[in-house]
Structure 1
Amino acid sequence: MHFKVISRVLGVLLMVFSLTLMPPVAVSLWFNDHNYFAFLIAFLITFVTGFIIWLPVYNTRHDLNTRDGFLITALFWFVLGLFGALPFVFSSAPHLSITDAMFESLSGLTTTGATVITGLDYLPESILYYRQQLQWLGGIGIIVIAVAILPMLGIGGMQLYRAETPGPVKDSKLTPRITETAKALFLVYLKLTLLCAACYWAAGMSVFDAICHAYSTIAIGGFSTHDASIGFFESNAIMAVCIFFMIVSGINFALHFFAWRERTLSHYWSDPELSFYVRVIALGTIITVSYLSYTQTYGFSTAFWHGSFELVSILTTTGFGVADFSIWPAFLPFLLFMLAFMGGCAGSTGGGMKVIRVMLICKQGMREIHRLIHPNAIMPIKIGKRSVADRVVEAVWGFFAVYVISFMVMFMLLLATGLDFITAFSAIGATINNLGPGLGDVTLHYGDINPTAKWILCFSMLLGRLEVFTLLVLFTPMFWQR
């Protein structure tokens, strides 16, 4: 383990992250909300800490090995979450405890969207902007790590995706070098954000709200500048813009990169994961809208807009809201919530287990059923026209098993803190899938649950964002052995 190199990387990371605390200062001065001092203090602490960590080891040069990569990837989120909490602690509104500040910061960076803050409409604009910016930075961090870094470590959905499916992402890298890949993905991410903001503004949002909501939409984060979320605007046009960009952001960003580079959309139609993703969204929308109309919960027009919006928002793990889906009739709240376990495509900003894994689990299940009828038949699992190696299928089942066990352990821990069954179950589901809103006492916010539960949920957010293994491997004795 090259701890000096790891320290140098973290030091640089903190110094770079400290610069992201300057835009909220500018926003504070522009709106004259008297909150800039909190960000200046946070900037100084973050920059100085990073400099102190970096200075003794700035000349250290070693190639990072796999274990170094695991540790840096995990520390990336934890350290930034820790220092990202500082403005919430120093700000006078809201003046959060360390626990609540850490929860809010990690929720932003992991694009979970769970919040402990209420009264958003009355908060300083600088804090509102900062929350959205956290999600935007977390979103691009997720994409770069998922597409450019995790495959090099031998983990992650994108490695599985590229190795076993045809199409433009078959190559091990989008461009020859990681830095070029990161730049290319950032450009796509930035252009989608600008386009989304422009569409929001054209649909009726103010410039400030359009920028803020574009940040959290492209990041699939779900933070808003209003307690009523997208429902605050009462606009079908804004809902339509949001639905479109939530779906787009849930698609593998490698596909967007090739669409931008090759100036063609043809590869979208031939992508098996995208096809499955779109079909699930379509089927879920039909069921949701039809049932809301059938039960006369809304008229057809309202049922269409609210039903389709909430379905897309929950399935893609964005977490925006235009209605309280938890009080919808019968099975609908649980249907929507369970769809979040699938989440977005591999290489997207979406959370959940990822569409590609759900596809393989379904195909493996069908193969086992067929084997009962034809026990001696050779039945390869295929995605598109390409067979998937049994090793990959085993890896997916291993991921699913560890995912379920982790869910159950954290669920029992939450019950032990005193939360009721529905609240505990949905809180773990909402955080490990990086969704945000849950059911029960966490439908609207997480401010009323106990501090111990919040720390458990912080771990759950990290676990989901790092796709389970990346974080859990740090807790194995073998990882630390020489």
Structure 2
Amino acid sequence: MQRKSQFNVGLICRVLGVLILLNGIFMFTCLPFAFYFGDGDWKALVQSGVITVIAGGFGMLYAQKMGYEQVFKKKDGYIIVSLGWALMAFFGSLPYIFSEIQASFADAYFETISGYSTTGASILTDIEGVGKGILFWRSLTQWIGGMGIIVLAVAVLPFLGIGGMQLFVAEAPGISPDKLQPRIKETAKRLWWVYAGLTGVETILLMTGGMSFYDALNHALTTMATGGFSTYNDSAASMSPYIQYILIFFMVLAGTNFTLNYFFFKRMFKAIWKNEEYKYYLGIISLATIGISSVVIYTTDLGIEKAFRDALFQVVSIITTTGYVSADYTAWAPFATMIVFVLMFCGGMAGSTAGGVKIVRHIILFKNSFLELKRQLHPTAIIPVRFNDKAVKGGITFNVLAFIMAYFLVFGIGILVMSALGLDLLTAIGAVATSLGNIGPGVGTVGPVDNFAHLPDMAKWVLSFLMLLGRLELFTVMIIFTPYFWSRF
């Protein structure tokens, strides 16, 4: 008697096929820009799109042929999310390989996973020389990855007769965004409407500041994704103050829990201000900006407004893990640079497109640590951690502690690996911190005025894995490498 598989293989192939198919369709949306600007990169996009669509269609047909139950197991969700992002990056790298860039597979995959994970680290040395169709695809990968291609699929899969709750849980383990509607499909749809709507509004506002439609759209896509890919070689450094302030405003929105953004549209302002994480989020931005701008004003001759704007821009860019650059923060006084580096381990709000540890985890960690001191005096007392005036379940607290421990363990191991591959210590620290936190620029030779092109291929593969690990918040990927995951019990 044949033993039943612990995985719903047919369903996994079906969903992966849909994701890859959608990826190919998105490639074709870049063609209008390729034709309009006449850069000749339309051939690479067509070739890549056709291959990707055929691959996705084959996966769906294979699943149909072998048959499957329309029921997700939790393990299926973890496989689909982890493998889905890896495959999306694989097929998404084809335009870089087939175009005039002729990137190696390591470089192409690095650039693509940097896009989907909304990291913003790049190997391109002359961004303005890249074809406009390919450059738009580069920005689009971040926009897709920002809210999560998996969440998009959750909104589409019900039409195929497949539920998506397991996918939503797998992509955001531990602490998940609040549900806006009882059904996960409705939640995904509303999140995407808010996401797309804000992208459209930002595009219009950037155009009023003098940007072309093409540049405005690209920057709106990568701002709302907290990705940071720019169409300019110097990122945001040469932009006007008006445009920089627009980017700052929308970076703050992108780093905010999208449930709160939805509440804003519904005029539920009290619900927004009651959110404890939101208060800490704005508080950290304010304090860091005051600290850095004070140092920059004192140590440079930039002037008060310019120093404040550069400080605010970089604080918001780093804490939201967007990664745009308006100034070389490594050239500031050491105290200011250190604040920026610390912000790399902060992250935005849970339920946002930002990466990093997330502020809510820091809040719970510090509250639990403080209460542990109180428990030493009252060992028999039951003193729960409270967040938003509610007691946090013990399981969530343990999850937060385990996540932060795992995060810094991976950070330490990553530094050792990068050092073994020949990187100097400062560059190794910067590369690992920015990749794991999905930030973009780091310190050392991967700082805000440099990129990752000079790193050895093996280092790029390791950093690509760290980007994926950070984007899926560690556990989703790490659990696949445990013997418990593959056990039948």
Q: Same fold (TM over 0.5)?
A: yes
| Cα offset, 1:263, TM superposition | 3.3
Letter in 2 for 1:65: K
Q: 1:355 maps to what in 2?
A: 359
Q: 1:8 maps to what in 2?
A: 14
Between the aligned partners of 2:305 and 2:150, the Cα distance in structure 1 is 36
Q: 2:78 maps to what in 1?
A: 70
Q: 1:105 maps to what in 2?
A: 112
Q: In the alignment, which of 234, 242, 257 is matched to residue 252 of structure 1?
A: 257
Does 2:131 align with 1:124?
Answer: yes
Q: 1:226 maps to what in 2?
A: 232
Q: In the alignment, which of 39, 44, 47 is matched to residue 45 of structure 2?
A: 39
Asked if 2 retains the 8 angstrom alpha-carbon contact of 1:22 and 1:39, the reply is yes
1:242-296 Cα shifts (integer Å, max 9, x gaps): 1100001101011222333x33322111111111111111111110111111223
Letter in 1 for 2:193: L
Q: 2:3 maps to what in 1?
A: none
Letter in 1 for 2:195: Y
Structure 2 counterparts to residues 411-426 of structure 1, below 5 A: 411-426=415-430
**Distance verdict in 2 for CA 1:152–1:42, change over 3 Å:** closer
**Distance verdict in 2 for CA 1:421–1:278, change over 3 Å:** same
Asked if 1 retains the 8 angstrom alpha-carbon contact of 2:123 and 2:452, the reply is yes
Q: 2:438 maps to what in 1?
A: 434
Letter in 2 for 1:316: T
| Cα offset, 1:393, TM superposition | 1.1
Between the aligned partners of 2:170 and 2:374, the Cα distance in structure 1 is 30
Asked if 2 retains the 8 angstrom alpha-carbon contact of 1:140 and 1:186, the reply is yes
Does 2:321 align with 1:285?
Answer: no
| Cα offset, 1:386, TM superposition | 1.1
Q: In the alignment, which of 50, 53, 58 is matched to residue 56 of structure 2?
A: 50
Between the aligned partners of 1:21 and 1:237, the Cα distance in structure 2 is 32
Structure 2 counterparts to residues 299-318 of structure 1, below 5 A: 299-318=303-322
Asked if 1 retains the 8 angstrom alpha-carbon contact of 2:174 and 2:396, the reply is no
Between the aligned partners of 1:383 and 1:23, the Cα distance in structure 2 is 43
Q: 1:115 maps to what in 2?
A: 122
Asked if 2 retains the 8 angstrom alpha-carbon contact of 1:150 and 1:156, the reply is no
**Structure 1 portions without partners, runs of 5+:** 163-168
| Cα offset, 1:145, TM superposition | 8.0
Does 2:212 align with 1:213?
Answer: no
**Distance verdict in 2 for CA 1:432–1:480, change over 3 Å:** same
Between the aligned partners of 2:394 and 2:123, the Cα distance in structure 1 is 43
Between the aligned partners of 2:98 and 2:37, the Cα distance in structure 1 is 19
Q: 1:140 maps to what in 2?
A: 147
Asked if 2 retains the 8 angstrom alpha-carbon contact of 1:151 and 1:158, the reply is no
**Distance verdict in 2 for CA 1:454–1:220, change over 3 Å:** same
Asked if 1 retains the 8 angstrom alpha-carbon contact of 2:121 and 2:452, the reply is yes
Does 2:480 align with 1:474?
Answer: yes
Between the aligned partners of 1:196 and 1:22, the Cα distance in structure 2 is 23
**Distance verdict in 2 for CA 1:372–1:304, change over 3 Å:** same
| Cα offset, 1:152, TM superposition | 6.9
**Distance verdict in 2 for CA 1:254–1:84, change over 3 Å:** same
Q: In the alignment, which of 167, 182, 185 is matched to residue 179 of structure 1?
A: 185
Between the aligned partners of 2:17 and 2:414, the Cα distance in structure 1 is 32
Q: Secondary structure of the residue that 2:441 maps to in structure 1?
A: coil
Q: 2:350 maps to what in 1?
A: 346
Q: 1:400 maps to what in 2?
A: 404
Q: 1:203 maps to what in 2?
A: 209
Higher mean alpha-carbon deviation, 372-381 vs 249-258, is at 372-381
Q: 1:464 maps to what in 2?
A: 470
Between the aligned partners of 2:200 and 2:298, the Cα distance in structure 1 is 39
Query: What TM-score do the two structures reach when normalised by structure 1?
Result: 0.93
Q: Secondary structure of the residue that 2:422 maps to in structure 1?
A: coil
Query: What TM-score do the two structures reach when normalised by structure 2?
Result: 0.92
Q: 1:21 maps to what in 2?
A: 27
Between the aligned partners of 1:232 and 1:459, the Cα distance in structure 2 is 32
Q: How well do the aligned residues superpose, as a CA RMSD in angstroms? A: 2.0
1:175-206 Cα shifts (integer Å, max 9, x gaps): 12222221111111000000111111112211
| Cα offset, 1:209, TM superposition | 0.7
Q: Secondary structure of the residue that 2:334 maps to in structure 1?
A: coil
Q: 2:374 maps to what in 1?
A: 370
Q: 2:243 maps to what in 1?
A: 238
**Distance verdict in 2 for CA 1:388–1:6, change over 3 Å:** same
Count matched residues.
Answer: 470
Q: Secondary structure of the residue that 1:320 maps to in structure 2?
A: coil
Structure 2 counterparts to residues 79-98 of structure 1, below 5 A: 79-92=87-100, 94-98=101-105
Q: 1:166 maps to what in 2?
A: none
Structure 1 runs, 4 residues or longer, greater than 6 Å off = 145-153
**Distance verdict in 2 for CA 1:153–1:66, change over 3 Å:** farther
| Cα offset, 1:405, TM superposition | 1.2
Q: 1:445 maps to what in 2?
A: 451
Asked if 1 retains the 8 angstrom alpha-carbon contact of 2:276 and 2:387, the reply is yes
Between the aligned partners of 2:384 and 2:171, the Cα distance in structure 1 is 22
Asked if 2 retains the 8 angstrom alpha-carbon contact of 1:147 and 1:347, the reply is no
1:93-145 Cα shifts (integer Å, max 9, x gaps): x2210000000000001000000001112221112211111100111217838
Q: 2:175 maps to what in 1?
A: 160
**Structure 2 portions without partners, runs of 5+:** 1-6, 156-163
Aligned-pair identity in percent equals: 37
